[in-house]
Amino acid sequence: MGKLQVLDLEGNLISGALPSQFSGLRKLKVLNLGFNKIFGGMPSSLSNCTGLQVLSLAGNQLNGSIPGFVGGFMDLSGLHLSFNLLSGSIPVEIGDNCGKMEHLELSGNYLTGGIPREIAKCSGLKTLLLYSNLLEEVLPSELGQLSQLQVMDVSRNNFGGPIPPQISNCTSLSILVLANSWNPLPNVSILGGSYSMEKLALPVD
């Protein structure tokens, strides 16, 4: 399949691990295996698909960390890894060759650490979705350099410190969600009472 450019198998019942070899898909531009039952890690041979523009593995059961080789895809415009079991930190390499990146979606995982300042190098970024993780530290002021950013949702994490005023430089921003970013605890106090989050009806977009 040396000429294959688009492989879209989203929304099926495909199970098992990703194949260990991706050596024959040199011209692949879109790999969409989202919302299946794929588990395991992301094999290093995936880095052989150097022409990838869209990589979507969202809605599976992938575990392990996000590999640094995702920063080697120079034409990547969309990285969709939300709703998996990924852990560890967001790799700083993600800012190495992200000039064409428009959509970065890593929500609904177990990612820790802070938001790498290198994301500010993704000058064309329009969507940044990092909600429902275990991220902490502070929101980097460098996010204010993302002049094309339209949607940023970093809610339901564990950030500290103030909201950086530089975010006001994101003049294209139309949706900013910071809900529960500084106190995503399982028990919250409302009207003087203590309630479990499981008992609260929270809006879900």
pLDDT at 41: 96
Mean pLDDT in residue range 60-68: 97
- In single-letter form, the type of residue at position 53 comes to Q
Q: Looking at the predicted structure, is the pLDDT value of residue 203 above 90?
A: no
Quick one: pLDDT band at residue 183, thresholds 50, 70, 90?
A: low
Give first-to-last CA distance, the chain, whole Å. 38
Rounded to 5 degrees, φ, ψ at 141 are: -65, -20
Higher pLDDT, 182 or 49: 49
Altogether, the residues listed in the chain come to a count of: 205
3-state secondary structure of 177: strand
> What confidence score (pLDDT) does residue 90 get?
97
Region 73-95 average pLDDT = 97
